[in-house]
Structure 1
Amino acid sequence: MRVGSGLQRAQTFMVLATGLYRASHLAVGVLAVVQHHRASPVAWAALTLALAVSVLVFATARSRGWFGTWPPLVDVVVVGCVLPFVVYAGGMHRTEDVAWVMLLGGSASAMAAVAFVRPAAVAGAVGALAVTHAAGYWATGADIAVIAAHLNAIVSSAVLARVFWWYLRRQGHALDAATAQAVAAEAGRARYAERIAHHRALHDTVLATLTAIARGHADADAPPVRERCAREAAYLRRLIQQHAEEERAPSTAAAMERAVRSSENLGLRVSAQYDNLPEIPAHAAEALAAATTEALNNVLRHAGTGHACVTVVGEGGGERVVVTVVDRGVGFEPDTVAKGLGLRSSVHLRMSEAGGAAVVDSAPGEGTRIELRWPA
């Protein structure tokens, strides 16, 4: 179950609703004990036990996201079935003396109807409450009408709670299905847009180059043409490799390819390899792509070479992405680079803001290696 899903929202609402129902019954119990049984240790003990069990049940439901089986079962047995006889044994033999503790049976019934999955379990819990409360009221000499009204409240609470939970659960599943369908449709549109972008790129690059050579408008042996063919062959290899990865991580592969293509359009020849790319959050993929773009721009501006190597690898079972940008250019001394410029601002800061990290390894005459990691 996803966090924030429709089903989880339905569960949260039912925990809140049954909690408020129980709170209303406890409030009546507090008033009854304070006004009429202030001197009775048994009444205070019964009220304290009811409060303790209620806190246990709803605190557990809040921490786990749902009731489970054992806490509601304890509530039905202790608060619903045992507590009325404890109060009766403590000397409160009149109908009005036990009414406040009998009232708790309604919220116990509602909770059981929601928490227990099997209808037989719900029927058993409601039946046990009904028998116990009928016997308790009969022992106090209550009228048949009072007993019937109370039993009706117990059964009605269970039925209404069960119907509400069925409806909300159904709506939650429908919302989750609609959300999944919308996400799938959006992913399909994104993949289609990516394919169109690749088709345009192929038309403007590879197809244009091959057409020019075929018509004799370009000399295939000329160095500029050979350099362009090398860049476009590298692009085709990446495109084939990317299709193998994009189903697992469309945002990661697409973002990194945009960074590489951006540098190639400026004349840099990039050898790129993608391997085992995980699906990561969009903001992380964009941060990696932007930092990679800046690293490649620095190769163009400062390295004194027209070639760079980029590797993008998933590690840690798909929990981490490592991007490495390497050139064999003139290199530099990283400690001498002014703060706030180039690598420090556009690479280090951008990665740290996205929860990642960047490491620059370079020396004069030794080229440069930049490693980008997400998460840090």
Structure 2
Amino acid sequence: MSASAPHPLRPAPPPREVTAAALVRGLASAQRLIGPASLVLALALMVEVAVRSEGAAALGALVLWWSPAFVAAVVLALRPTVPTALLTVGVGLVAGTGFVATILQAYTPEQSRGLFLVEALAWALMFIGAVRPNAADGVLWVAVGLGAGTVALVAGHVIAGRPLALSPDRLVDAVIMAVAYAVIALGGRRRRDRVPELPDAALVSRRQHAAQRRERAAAALVHDTVLASLTLLERGESRLDDRVRQGIRRDLDAVAQASATSVGVVSAAPVEGSLAARLLAIVDDLRWSGLRVDLTGAEALATTSVVTDSAAEAVLAAMTAALENVRHHSGVDRVEVTVGRTARALTVLVVDGGTGFDSDAVPTDRLGLRESIHGRLSRVGGTARVWSNESGTTVMLTVPIEATAEGPP
């Protein structure tokens, strides 16, 4: 397979959209090439006229006026900026005036091939082209070039003492170029009215996706805090004593102080203490509610904060959601929690021997498994895996260890 051939498994890139700005740049580049080319043609005609009329002295003077105009046109073609465009207009105005005065004094209209050679420098001035990527700029410079060339022609005729004679061809060419820019502008406006610009559409899509992630994360936070406590009271599984009231108040404070991060994770109010201390506090709260939690491996978290704050919040919240599912649905009062750590990942296993379930049969509108566990971890680059049958359920939660957060192994 040649180096230039596309990879068989890699889709071909989509065709690049031709925008109005690209069309303006293409038209302007073509104009800036026509300008120097027309001046080269004028030089050839000047030599021919000089040979036929035996006017070598006049040819030298004409070349002196032609040269700066040609150099300015080449510079503009290489560096199309506002300063070089203004330089081209200024040089063309002065050089065009001297060129017209010289050729009118040296040759008769019959010798100079009519008005084409007389107006050569003035005609080339119209091909400045747009120096900014919009059609209005192209029309502006066409008008400026037409005006500057006309001034040079009038001034040259006055200096030479000849009656003014102007060709309509320059005006026709200027109108054609202005219409070309207007057609590009009209086409671009119709396209923008029909569909949004691609960068704008991509930005809107990213914002909508981020908003959806924040909404799902917020729903998971409410599900695991206030909604969980109210569900217990509604089912009669708990009494509204002081400890329950404090828990509900703590949940409401967490929701009220929650904030959305750049990756769409809704973080509750900061919790003080190490990751190990926060994990032990969660286990103690669940033990108080009647669920026996056998915890092993927490010492791996005691010496350092091994994951980022967002990942720590996600794995602790997902573990809590898994333990709450055990308490509510498994039919057992005992669960094992095992914490493990490698050089690249932190893993928490939640294992119970209760009534299992079919994860594929869980309704899509249930937030506990979909958002509180899978969604939370995926938003921080982690994963969740669930195995469940009639013998029990195992939930494996994994979050990456960042190099900046990694401590001693």
* Between structures 1 and 2, the one with greater helix share: 1
Question: Could you tell me the TM-score, scaled by structure 1's length?
Answer: 0.49
Question: Could you tell me the TM-score, scaled by structure 2's length?
Answer: 0.46
Structure possessing the higher radius of gyration over alpha carbons: 2
